[in-house]
A and B are shown apart, each in its own frame.
Chain A
Amino acid sequence: MTKRKIYLPNALIQELADIVKTQAYTALMPVFSEVSCSGEEASSTEYLSLDLSDAKLLIRLADIEMSKAILKYPYNEDDDPQYDPLHEEQFDEIMMGVYEKTYYYLQSEFPALKEGA
């Protein structure tokens, strides 16, 4: 498959790169091989070179992060008797952050992902 330059906000690229590195996700290492995580370049990277299979792997990563958030912050809902505001804040950071945004930017460029990765 042909790779294309896909826009993602720099902060999202940095977060994804950090997860790939710390979790040692070998399958995604090539995607971030040219992404600088430090120095001036780190703050300017706004494109990743991706094909559909790369995008599917990133969606898988986003799903894993969301699954972890569900397991780590179960008391995130204010109508739950065990509600914990800290759980809500942490859960939202993941859901409205790396999870939702990874889906959004990749689905915008790869419509096939809307049918399920």
Chain B
Amino acid sequence: MKRKLEDSKYTVLTPNDLWKFYSSVVGIYRGGGNTQSPKLLRANGPRARDVTIVYDPEHEIDMVVPDSSKGLSFASNIEKLSKNPTISGHVWILPKGESLPEGLVFNVKDYTHPLLNVSRRMSLSEFTEKLVVLSSKLRPAQIKIEKGTGRIIEQIPGALKQAEAM
């Protein structure tokens, strides 16, 4: 199956769709990480601005609701992270073939910039758990984007070539 992006619309990629859609890449990248983590979460949980969170008065908890126009930013190539805008820090990769936890999807309007979000309403704590699981599937690409300049720095010789052929 090959899905095509429609102009000005978001395409929602389920865990089953993800690698069929991104069939020609070695993985999708997350910028802005550090040496220990891709930082999908802050210390106190997901960033509220990444997703839509509503309060459920019945259960008195915060819920994350599907919103195809939002999500945590990923990139289909490393260069995308290096300029316009420069997302500095360590680059992590979700290698092609790794499964997305159930309940997560990627929303795509720009092929190079998939947005991670939820496919169904879930509690903020469940979303947090899923991000922790997903974080464990990402691998350090051994590449760092330099703050301010966007220069791509290999942490080990040949890292860029290796990350793009992983």
Interaction A to B: yes
Which residue numbers of A lie inside 8 Å of B, CB to CB?
A: 7, 9, 11-12, 62, 66, 70, 76-79, 85, 88-89, 92-93, 95-97, 99-101, 103-104, 107-109, 113-117
Are A92 and B42 in touch, CB under 8 angstroms? yes
A-B contact pairs, 8 of them (CB 8 A): A66-B85, A77-B89, A89-B43, A103-B85, A104-B73, A104-B113, A107-B84, A107-B110
Shortest 6 CB-CB distances between A and B: which pairs?
Answer: A103-B85, A78-B34, A11-B49, A78-B35, A79-B35, A70-B148
B88 within 8 A of A: yes
Write the nearest CB–CB distance from A42 to chain B, whole angstroms: 16
B84 proximity list for chain A (CB < 8 A): 103, 107, 113-117
**B contacts with A, residue count (CB < 8 A):** 26
Q: 19 extra interchain contacts, Cβ-Cβ under 8 A, other than A78-B36, A117-B84?
A: A7-B69, A9-B69, A11-B48, A62-B85, A66-B86, A76-B147, A79-B35, A85-B43, A92-B42, A95-B32, A96-B32, A97-B49, A100-B85, A103-B85, A104-B73, A104-B113, A109-B8, A113-B84, A114-B84
Are B32 and A92 in touch, CB under 8 angstroms? yes
Contact with A along B28-62 (1 / 0, CB 8 A): 00001011100100110001111000000000000
B87 within 8 A of A: yes
Q: How far is the CA of A99 from the CA of B43 in the complex (A)?
A: 20
Are B34 and A77 in touch, CB under 8 angstroms? yes
Decide if the interface of chain A is mainly helix, strand, loop or mixed.
helix
Which residue numbers of B lie inside 8 Å of A, CB to CB?
A: 8, 32, 34-36, 39, 42-43, 47-50, 69-70, 73, 84-89, 109-110, 113, 147-148
Q: How far is the CA of A15 from the CA of B145 in the complex (A)?
A: 26
Given A70-B148, A77-B89, CB of A9 within 8 Å of CB of B70: yes
B148 proximity list for chain A (CB < 8 A): 70
Are B147 and A70 in touch, CB under 8 angstroms? yes
Considering the complex, give the chain B residue whose CB is closest to the CB of A98: B49
Are B42 and A89 in touch, CB under 8 angstroms? yes
B113 proximity list for chain A (CB < 8 A): 104
Write the nearest CB–CB distance from A24 to chain B, whole angstroms: 24
Most buried by A among B42, B47, B84, B148: B84
Considering the complex, give the chain B residue whose CB is closest to the CB of A67: B148
